[in-house]
Structure 1
Amino acid sequence: MMPSKLLYRLFFLCFVLGSITVNAQSDKQKALEAKRQKFEQELQQLNTLLFSDKKKEKSIVSSVEDLNYKVSVRRNLIKVTNDQANLLTREINANQNEISSLRDQLKELKETYAAMLVKSYKSKSEQSKVMFLLSSDNFKQAYKRLQYIKQYTNYQKEQGELIKVKSAKLQELNTDLVRQKKDKDQLIAENRTAQKELEKELDEQEKLMASIRKNLSSYTSKIKQTQQEIDRLDREINKLIKEAIAASNKKAGNSSLSQGFALTAEAKALAANFVSNKGNLPWPVEKGVVKVRYGTQPSPIDRSITISSSGVRIATEKGAQVRAVFEGEVLAVMGKKYSNPTVLIQHGNYITAYKNLAKVYVKKGDKIATKQDIGEVFTDTNGDSILFFSLHKEDQTQNPAYWIYKM
């Protein structure tokens, strides 16, 4: 017979290891659920910002861009929901196996415990215990027999406790199993609905693309023209930043060949604070979705053409207030030479640019606070309200997604 303490410790170890596995699976489910909720919120925001007004006539290009983005989010939602359902299947199987094992263990424990109770009942009188001790050949044997009686009594108690613990664990697993099956059924139902929505969106997308293919050269020409206008504005911003760098070095008495800003102690502290908030900067609009991300990427209209984005293009609501993502000073307010107004805000040796504004509330030299409104986004004739936002270190662009919270 296994010593009682060793048996109890072995069971406790198995119980802890099982709990760790369950907790690990639970953590995975929590992470997947957080992702699923994120995609659902993104879809809700997309519907509000881009698809709420069915009467509004949009350009085909804008409609394709919107649908492409919605389809990508929908696919991500379907994938993460599938992952959740698959993980639940594995958890359900593991639970069923553990329930089966626990039932076998409980059966064996109860049989053993019942046998011990019968044996104890037959030799329960104090007289039989005394006779068992007195019949010892010597004191040492009597002491060992006394210890055996104590151990046997403790073992009975521990067996009883083990039965209680395992019974409670079995009940808990059965409750979890019911919940898991219910959750899985709900996820499968939600995925079916999402799949149907995706099929509708893909059909609509194909109709739009078929219309575009009839006059592809015209759309391609417009894409190239738009890219040229964006590049022209980017060059103007880059030129302005380089002039500001040169001016700061001239003022500090540095060489005209210096590549970076000559910063005061206050400006250095501001830049350090800006960097320390990387990944946690607020969005430049209260509500928005990123339609075009940073970097070079194929055009959604003609994938043989690449478009270049020095920042991100954020779709927002009409009349949305544009706000500074961090405290700083207005470096420049660029007029309508190449596009709608642009505001540049300097944060030490970092610059944030807010392009495509309808109204501007600030002027060069103004001190700006984090989340301070600096203007209003422009809404075009198609009803699209797009903020072009970029972030620069000196005269080099940075990916805003690494800086803005959950972008």
Structure 2
Amino acid sequence: MILKRVDIKENKGGKDVQSRGLFHFNFIIISLFVLLPLVSFSQTREELEKQRLQLQKEIKEINTLLFKSQKKEKTLLSDLSDLVQRIGVRTKLINTISEETEQLNFEIKENERQVEMLEDRLELLKKDYANMVVQSYKSKTKNSRLMFLLSSESFLQAYKRLEYIKQYAAYRERQGEEILAESIKLKNLNDYLVETRNDKEELLALNQKEKDSISKEKSTQESLVRSVKKKEKKYIAQINKKQKQEKMIDAKIEALIAEAIAKSKKESNLKSSGFALTPEAAALEKDFISNKGKLPSPVERGVIVRRYGKQSHPTLKGITIESNGVFYATEKNANARVIFDGKVLAIQVLPGKKKAVLVQHGNYISVYKNLDNVTVQKGDLVTTKQEIGKIHTDSTTGKTILAFVLFKEIHRQNPEEWVYKN
């Protein structure tokens, strides 16, 4: 932004009041134009800082919840996926820190400009005030205020002279107060400038630390990639087998939901595309929909390790995996919790004696898979955040993973659109 400099010239017979008023007006306008981008910038920096703190928290969670294995051959693919995820988050963190540093650089420059403007303004105010003091002293030595009033030619002129004396005294007092206010403002701005520079130094140090970490992690990643490549066919076969198992489980869940819908229609003799809902169930569904994007996570503490939909495998090129839900890594012995009030529609036994709990919220069904044991039964009424079962921990990888799926009738939904994002 280009700012016009305002020059104030002194009048030998004293300051021109109109000129001073114009100076004050122009300074306010200039200050507003300078501060406007700073307000916008400050909000942006707050958002960046929030994003940086969230990414740092995510890295901490990844380190705690994912890196459980002993780097054995059986866990190489899992270790590599964990590392890829951490590198991805760390890269975002580095980019965020860099952006935040750039914003700080901009803010520092703007602050320096404001300091310079305030120093100039303070200098003008002090000169103006000094001139008034001198003029006032000269006025007192040549002629007293009383004589100034008594020499008036009429009562009206005396009254005007008295008002002038009062206004001049008041203006001089205001100038003194303004000098004090501007001095305090300048000090505060200088203090903030020092604080901002310190923030920048801390960010630069953090950025370098993250770059050093990511450099080491990429070196480890290359080593793991070479190890995985040696048995790539074996890993691809394992992935394909697991995908088939997941599809079979999801097909059974869909069939179970379709059967429950058909049964509810038959019992109520109502024609509906979904469940035949009671007024209470319909109200519950409406409440569920109104909370879209604000529902709590199905785990109290967790990291998303697989998102919803078709996606490339994180480590094996050319391999696409399909995810019908969201997979959360959490801590050992953690419990799955219900995302909203509802009724337990069914409990399904999965391969390996693990279980899945289906909770109905009107025409919406939330599914919690990979539980070792459950603490609810079919038909139970459950409440938001109620724990319903312990999540299974894999003995090989050491990871505790909850698979969370969401349906509207038999149609799958993206759970991330419904669950609140921190």
TM-score in terms of structure 2 length: 0.88
- Counterpart of 1:179 in structure 2: which amino acid? E
- Counterpart of 1:110 in structure 2: which amino acid? K
Q: Deviations over 1:307-364 (max 9, x none)?
A: 1111101111222211212221111111135873111010111110011111122221
Match of 2:344 in 1: 330
Match of 1:366 in 2: 380
Match of 2:116 in 1: 100
Contact 2:65 2:399 in 1 (8 A): no
Following the alignment from structure 1 to structure 2, what is the Cα–Cα distance between the partners of residues 119 and 357?
Answer: 89
Q: 1:390 to 1:339 in 2, by over 3 A?
A: farther
Once the two structures are overlaid, the 10-residue window that deviates more, 113-122 or 392-401, is 392-401
- Counterpart of 2:93 in structure 1: which amino acid? L
For this pair of structures, how many residues does the alignment match?
405
Contact 2:84 2:315 in 1 (8 A): no
Shift of 1:90: 0.8
- Counterpart of 1:99 in structure 2: which amino acid? V
Q: 1:156-167 residue pairs with structure 2 within 5 A?
A: 156-167=172-183
Match of 2:416 in 1: 401
Following the alignment from structure 1 to structure 2, what is the Cα–Cα distance between the partners of residues 81 and 285?
Answer: 29
Following the alignment from structure 2 to structure 1, what is the Cα–Cα distance between the partners of residues 71 and 220?
Answer: 16
Contact 2:152 2:158 in 1 (8 A): yes
Q: 1:6-405 residue pairs with structure 2 within 5 A?
A: 8=24, 11=27, 21-51=37-67, 59-124=75-140, 127-132=143-148, 144-255=160-271, 258-336=272-350, 340-380=354-394, 381-405=396-420
Following the alignment from structure 1 to structure 2, what is the Cα–Cα distance between the partners of residues 7 and 150?
Answer: 23
Shift of 1:5: 5.9
Q: 1:168 to 1:47 in 2, by over 3 A?
A: same
Shift of 1:269: 1.4
Following the alignment from structure 2 to structure 1, what is the Cα–Cα distance between the partners of residues 126 and 198?
Answer: 32
3-state SS of 1:387 partner: strand
- Counterpart of 1:320 in structure 2: which amino acid? A
Q: Deviations over 1:108-127 (max 9, x none)?
A: 22112111110111102695
- Counterpart of 1:384 in structure 2: which amino acid? K
3-state SS of 1:59 partner: helix
Following the alignment from structure 1 to structure 2, what is the Cα–Cα distance between the partners of residues 194 and 60?
Answer: 24
Contact 2:258 2:410 in 1 (8 A): yes
Shift of 1:40: 1.1
- Counterpart of 2:412 in structure 1: which amino acid? T
Shift of 1:102: 1.2
Contact 2:353 2:372 in 1 (8 A): no
Q: Deviations over 1:16-72 (max 9, x none)?
A: 665655444333322222111111111111111122565777612211221121111
Aligned identity (percent) is 44
Following the alignment from structure 2 to structure 1, what is the Cα–Cα distance between the partners of residues 144 and 276?
Answer: 97
TM-score in terms of structure 1 length: 0.91
Contact 2:357 2:368 in 1 (8 A): yes
Q: 1:303 to 1:53 in 2, by over 3 A?
A: closer
- Counterpart of 2:246 in structure 1: which amino acid? I
